[in-house]
Amino acid sequence: MGFNTVGMSGPGSGTWTRLSRMLRGLARQGVILATRGPAEHMDAYLSLGLPNASFETAGGGRSSRLIPAREIEHFSERFRLDVLHQEAAPFVRIRGTATLGSIHDLRHFRRPVSSLRSAGAVYQRLMLRHHGDNVDAWLALSDWAKSDIAERLNIADDRIHVVPPIVELLSMPAERLNPGLYVLSLGHLEPRKNLEVLLEATASPEWPTGVEVWLAGADHGSGGKLLRMSQRSRVPVRFLGPVSETKKWDLLRQALAVAVPSSIEGFGIVAVEAPSAGTPAVVSDQASLPNLAFHSKALVDAFSPAAWASRIQEIAQQPRLRSEILEAQRAGALQFSEIRATQRLISVYQRVLSRSGSVSDDDRAGG
């Protein structure tokens, strides 16, 4: 199995966490892995300690920037790949190798073309729909994401496979019965996270006294606006910036609740990581998030500050309700275990190989 991760978010991001868990699961199943990525990812990759795995640094020269398909094809040939799993654009077809493309979400389809700033955003909005046939199959993180991909890119349903991220339940010590007095948001500060509704909620009289809001994540366009809004809040709002993996889990374990008010989420992994760490998640009613609520009181109107304030107040003042939500979400999280997700992914690989036709050593050697 080969993975091309050039262009993917690196260590410290949810995307990297998802990838590292996927690679660990595959390695434990005996899959031989080869990964192509930027040099700055190498140390984090090697720290995973994967057996039967290798990492190749993507070239930084002119050819790798102008002709990525050629570089990826050379990678496939060197490692004699059966399947090439592509985690970021551009998605290319490789002769003699079954190919998959992974799409986390199509957020840039919901923005004006004039607002697109990165090459990846432009590619997704203007070119991706024309490259739907470049790979043998596509991976989506949720049923909602699958439907969105099928509709916007005009790809047949049977070519899109849902494989959710891996989230393992952590043991929950007794002290989790005494949560901290803050609501945590974990993720980039960007428009699709809809964090404005959370800060508007803190200005409401329904917001519980003494319950702070902590925002952990890098500024991706919304930081300035959120900072200005925080000045009108009735409670302290803390901007923590990017946090390490260890710090992330500490924050998750100690929060009263984790808020996920996003308007767009291909999956919403923090909504499962929170109950895994012993903290209930309160999620919006948009995109893939309703499927991660697992309790009616964990689901809130994405765009109603009053609804968010009232729900956080209920959770703060009713320990029994908090426990009920947490119990339901921990039970729901069992479906995202490593063994289930890994077996599902291997099944997709096998299906793609059977459809594309296996390539013999003689055929591969002959080019």
Residue 108 corresponds to which tokens in the numbers above?
A: 């840039």
CB burial class (10 A; 0-12, 13-18, 19+) of residue 204? middle
CA distance 25 to 337: 10
Domain count of the fold of the chain = 2
Looking at the fold, whether 49 and 88 belong to one and the same domain comes out as yes
Residues, the chain, total?
Answer: 367
pTM: 0.85
CA distance 150 to 137: 12
Looking at the fold, whether 162 and 234 belong to one and the same domain comes out as no
Looking at the fold, whether 159 and 217 belong to one and the same domain comes out as no
CB atoms within 10 A of CB 355: 12
Domain residues for 22? 2-166+337-365
**What pLDDT is attached to residue 358?**
47
Looking at the fold, whether 199 and 315 belong to one and the same domain comes out as yes
The CATH number assigned to the domain holding 188 equals 3.40.50.2000
Looking at the fold, whether 263 and 121 belong to one and the same domain comes out as no
**What pLDDT is attached to residue 68?**
75
Residue 13 corresponds to which tokens in the numbers above?
A: 């991001």
CA distance 188 to 260: 12
Looking at the fold, whether 7 and 135 belong to one and the same domain comes out as yes
CA distance 198 to 302: 9
Looking at the fold, whether 182 and 240 belong to one and the same domain comes out as yes
**What pLDDT is attached to residue 192?**
93
Looking at the fold, whether 138 and 219 belong to one and the same domain comes out as no
Query: Which residue type sits at 305?
Result: P
Query: Which residue type sits at 272?
Result: V
Looking at the fold, whether 32 and 110 belong to one and the same domain comes out as yes
Looking at the fold, whether 41 and 155 belong to one and the same domain comes out as yes
Looking at the fold, whether 67 and 156 belong to one and the same domain comes out as yes
Where the chain has pLDDT below 70, the residues are: 59-67, 172-179, 357-367
**What pLDDT is attached to residue 178?**
56
Confirm if 35 and 54 have CB atoms less than 8 A apart. Answer: yes
Looking at the fold, whether 188 and 136 belong to one and the same domain comes out as no
